[in-house]
Amino acid sequence: MNYYNEIKNLLLDNEIIKRVKDYSKNKNDLDTYYNVGKMLAEAGKHYGEGIIKNYSIKLMNEVDKKYNTTNLKRYRQFYWLIQKGAPIGHQLSWSHYRELIPLKDINKVKYYITICIYQNLTRDELKSRIKNREYERLDDDTKLKLINKENTTLTDLVPNYI
């Protein structure tokens, strides 16, 4: 028996299972927050903006303190962001999307989502690129290609970053 190979295989199997679970958990989080945001947007149409505060008080008492007004509003903003055309990249975490929610330009959001996926950026790396205004520093031709891309890869558009 080769103990090293057995140990290595057990550890590799464990790493794979952890990553699959992490991906599955993250996908579930994003799907849940999207659906909650959708319901909050619909409830707001019927009951007014104050419904988020009312729901927040009840959820914090009955479920968990993390469901405060700020987080419920973020879920609704996340829903609106996706409705504007931003893709849900399940490779991105909720923390990534929290950095993207304040951005108003949907093309900018799509750019940063794409960059995150292709370069496997952490939330801190994404935050830094947004702070450094990476998208704004792209030339107009590149931005136009990004907006109208069909069969163009990100590597074709922004070779300096990949």
For 133-151, how does the pLDDT look when each residue is reduced to its tens digit (9 = 90+)?
Answer: 999 998 888 877 776 664 4
Write the CA distances from 146 to 54, 96, 143, integer angstroms: 41, 20, 5
Domain holding 135, by residue range, is: 104-162
Nearest CA-CA partner of 37 in 108, 96, 94: 94
Tracing tokens 């970053």 back to the chain, one arrives at 161
Region 74-81: what's the mean pLDDT? 93
Kindly state whether residues 18 and 68 are assigned to the same domain.
yes
- Residue 67: what are its φ and ψ, rounded to 5°? -90, 55
Kindly state whether residues 72 and 108 are assigned to the same domain.
no
pLDDT band at 161 (very low <50, low <70, confident <90, very high): very low
Between these two residues, 130 and 159, which has the higher pLDDT value? Answer: 130
Q: What percent of the chain has pLDDT over 90?
A: 36
Contacts 24+ apart (CB under 8 A), 129-132: 130/99, 130/103
Determine the residue type at 83.
Q
- pLDDT tens for 2-18 read 777 777 777 777 777 77
Is 131 inside a domain boundary? yes
pLDDT confidence of residue 149: 63
Kindly state whether residues 8 and 79 are assigned to the same domain.
yes
Query: In the predicted model, what is the mean pLDDT of the chain?
Result: 83
